[in-house]
Amino acid sequence: MLPKYKRVLLKLSGEALMGDKNFGFDNSVIAQYAQDIKSVVNLGVQVAIVIGGGNIYRGMNEAETGIERAHGDYMGMLATVINGMALQAGLEKIGVYTRLQSAIKMEQVAEPYIRRRAIRHVEKGRVVIFGAGTGNPYFTTDTAGSLRAIEINANVILKGTRVNGIYTADPEKDPTAKKYEVVSFQECISKNLRVMDMTAFTLCMENKLPIIVFDMNKPGNLLKVIGGEKVGTLVKD
């Protein structure tokens, strides 16, 4: 197979790592993700990853928790590093070379995020996992994914979710919802299609960086997307 993309940023949700559990990790999900990532690395595709932390900690309502927003966001960043370490372990177990980089310094477990070093790693065929979001509160991991993708000159953002694309409505709630094969950035905004948060989405739109939303939980889908098959929904300029 000839890959359609040379360098990709894979954005994964932390919640997906739970599988059927209510908290933490499902080892079978990590193993499946690792195998799918290995299959595209073996094609020579350069892969970087940003992963959320929602399976461990979600920014909760300050009124309910008593934890202020900025403090809670830093807690969430630490959760993404834990997830990055778990995915790193799953990948290295099957022979994929990785580097974990953190936007918050923690030298014992991760390299500090350095753009040029990250690019060098992916050029050498290592999978780079970006942890701790942007390193700043008030920014989501979607925004971190968009920012890192632009910084490392990725060809596309692959947003792996539980749903196989973008729909006119939530397909889990509305059985009449129709799926988009291709949709423009402007159409997403005008129809209020929630692809990413607006900061992340605007970054992609301004830099003409396409997004593919697809179901990462179906084994083999990542390889199909890399091969250019019509899997999920493509958002483009």
Q: Return averaged pLDDT per consecutive 10 residues of the chain, 237 residues in all.
A: 95 92 93 98 98 86 81 94 98 98 97 98 98 96 98 98 90 89 95 92 97 96 96 95
Q: Are 135 and 104 in contact (CB under 8 A)?
A: yes
Q: Which domain holds residue 51?
A: 7-236
1: in domain: no
53: in domain: yes
DSSP for residue 63: H
**Domains identified in the chain, total number:** 1
2: in domain: no
217: in domain: yes
Query: To the nearest whole percent, how much of the chain has pLDDT over 90?
Result: 86
**Domain CATH code at residue 191:** 3.40.1160.10
Write down the pTM of the prediction.
0.95
90: in domain: yes
189: in domain: yes
Looking at residue 234, its pLDDT comes to 97
Looking at residue 194, its pLDDT comes to 85
Task: Measure the CA–CA gap between 161 and 213, rounded to whole angstroms.
Answer: 7
87: in domain: yes
Here the tokens at position 17 are: 């790592």
Looking at residue 59, its pLDDT comes to 64
193: in domain: yes
Here the tokens at position 158 are: 């692959």
Helix pair angle (141-151, 198-206), 10° resolution: 20
